[in-house]
Amino acid sequence: MTARISSTGLWTPPNSISNDELVGSYNAYVEQFNTENAISIENGETEPLNPSSSAFIEKASGIKARYVLSKDPILDPKIMEPRIKERSNEEISVLAEMAVWAGRDALEKAGRAPEEVDAVIVACSNLQRAYPAIAIEVQKYLGTSGFAFDMNVACSSATFGIETARGLIAGGQAKSVLVCSPEICSGHLNFQDRDSHFIFGDVATAVLLESEDIAPPNSWEIISAKLVTEFSNNIRNNFGFLNRTAPDGVGKPDKLFVQNGRSVFKEVVPMVADMITKELAANDIPPESLKRMWLHQANINMNNFIAQKVLGKDADPTMAPVVLDEYANTSSAGSIIAFDKHNDDFKPGDIGLICSFGAGYSAGLILVRKS
Ligand code: CO8
């Protein structure tokens, strides 16, 4: 049974932080650090911290703002972390709640009742707890049928989730699968790290896949999909359940997001451009017949390079729409936000591609045609 994408859903947190607000807080922290350590800096024992800059952030990444669950504590130079109140086991967990909101949006857009969904996959970069699976909690609070499970392929979680859902439908396990990607990136971002404090934002997306016999007439045919991984330490977070077995390392910066951004840029751009070019060729789709590329939203310059390599010319914003200016990098959700917000002009037969890339390295490509 062939699967189609019937709808998408989006939940955006209410609080936005501009570059100027974030840089203001970071620079206040720098000033405080350099003042408190003035003697040690003068003796050459401590490296002074350098200020951050909004102009650098926008030029290097294209990011202008980001949405977050918790704004004020991130901007408080004495805290510089989100604060999200712990909930009792009787309350819905925050990650599941975001997934439910995005999931409801997707179901409403497709005119579906929750019980018509046979499976929920929560596919995201960071799961709130070890167990029970967040997806099973989403199943309970949404009221969906069948089964649910979590998966994590970092930034490529949503595209790998879509392809997994397609496999479940093709294999007869389900006729309708909801792939939710709740991303609380602020929870694993080091806001005291100048190189990366500006990169991420929070959001949740959802994608509803259904077998072709029940999908609505205006759904999206999945022409083909390609998944690629190649191990790299250039984007890494060592937080995990074994940390307590090595107490010396607890709370160290490597237990949050760390990357070698320049290497990622250089290595991932050719990997992704090559994957897209080969997959288009394998499906006899000339690049010029593509109407849109809903690319991963990490860096606008990266996307421009990828689009340029695939198309052989500069891409205009309608070909590769940008949402990272408003949302920053939302890990696996980024390409789905772009797809959700920029597909109204598609006519039957128009072809586009959803493409993710990031930690792992991992890259996922979903080629779609509007029915
Ligand atoms: N303000 C001012 N100057 C700065 C700042 C700052 N904030 N940060 C760095 N600089 C300076 C540096 O010190 C350097 O100065 P100098 O030349 O004097 O040494 C100069 O700016 C240039 O620094 P870089 O070479 O680091 O700057 P780049 O042009 O490479 O831009 C980027 C940095 C924007 C990070 C860029 O490299 C990039 O976007 N790379 C791609 C990254 C990427 O795509 N990563 C994917 C990660 S996301 C993912 O996979 C999901 C992981 C799981 C989710 C995690 C959630 C938290």
pLDDT tens-place string over residues 143-175:
999 999 999 999 999 999 999 999 999 999 999
Q: How far is the CA of 64 from the centre of ligand 1 (A)?
A: 14
Could you tell me the distance, in angstroms and rounded to a whole number, from the CA of residue 212 to the centre of ligand 1? 43
In angstroms, the CA 226 to CA 203 distance is 25
Rounded CA-CA distance 168/270 in Å is: 31
Taking CA atoms, 284 is separated from 139, 272, 288, in Å, by: 39, 18, 12
Q: Is residue 172 part of a domain?
A: no
Q: What is the pLDDT of residue 338?
A: 98
- Separation CA 274–CA 234 (nearest Å): 20
Asked if the structure places residue 107 within a domain, the reply is no
C-alpha–C-alpha distance, residues 357 and 274, integer Å: 13
Catalytic: 180?
Answer: no
Domain membership flag for residue 41? no
Distance 15 CA to ligand 1 centre (A): 24
CA dihedral 254, 256, 262, 266 (to 10 degrees): 100
Q: How far is CA 83 from the centre of its chain?
A: 21
**What does the pLDDT read at residue 307?**
95
- Atom index in ligand 1 nearest the CA of residue 329 equals 48
pLDDT score at 348: 97
Q: What is the DSSP track for 41-79?
A: HHTTSSPPPPPP-HHHHHHHH---EEEES--HHHH-TTT
Beta bridge partners of 293: 353
Which pLDDT belongs to residue 352? 98
Q: Do the domain assignments include residue 276?
A: yes
Ligand 1 atom index nearest CA of 360: 50
Determine the residue of 23, 54, 58, 264 to mutate for testing ligand 1's pocket, defined as the one with the most ligand atoms within 8 A of the Cβ atom.
Answer: 264
What the block records as the tokens of 31 is: 């000033």
The number of distinct structural domains making up the chain is: 1
- Say which of 124, 155, 185, 355 is annotated catalytic: 155
Given the CA of residue 186, which atom of ligand 1 is nearest to it? 57
Please give the Cα distance from 194 to 53 (Å, whole number).
9
Q: Count of CB atoms within 10 A of residue 284's CB?
A: 7
Ligand 1 within 6 A of 259 CB? Answer: yes
Q: Specify if 60 maps to a domain.
A: no
Category of 46 on φ-ψ map: left (φ > 0), alpha (ψ -120 to 50) or beta: beta
- Amino acid letter, residue 191: F
Cβ of 300 below 6 Å from ligand 1:
no
Residue 262 alpha carbon to ligand 1 centre in Å: 7
Q: Which pLDDT value is given to residue 114?
A: 98
Q: Which domain holds residue 337?
A: 220-370
pLDDT confidence of residue 198? 98
Within-domain flag for 304: yes
Under a CB-based contact definition with an 8 Å cutoff, are residues 134 and 180 in contact?
A: no
What pLDDT sits at residue 93?
A: 98
Which residue type is seen at 204?
Answer: A
Which atom from ligand 1 is nearest to the alpha carbon of 358?
50
**Joined tokens for residue 369:** 């045609």
Question: Atom 25, ligand 1: which residue's CA is nearest?
Answer: 262
In three-state secondary structure terms, 157 is helix
Q: Is residue 79 part of a domain?
A: no
Ligand 1 proximity of 294 Cβ (cutoff 6 Å): no
Assigned domain for 266 exists? yes
Helices in 240-352 by DSSP H: which ranges?
A: 261-282, 300-311, 324-327, 334-341
196 Cα to the center of ligand 1, angstroms: 6
Neighbours of 174 (CB within 10 A): 25
C-beta of residue 105 within 8 angstroms of C-beta of residue 333: no
Cβ of 262 below 6 Å from ligand 1: yes
pLDDT beneath 70: ranges in the chain:
none
Q: Which atom of ligand 1 is nearest to the CA of 198?
A: 7
* Alpha carbon of 42 to ligand 1 centroid (Å): 28
Give, using CA atoms, the residue closest to atom 20 of ligand 1.
56
- The CATH number linked to 360 is 3.40.47.10
Select from 320, 317, 269 the least CA-distant residue to 290: 320
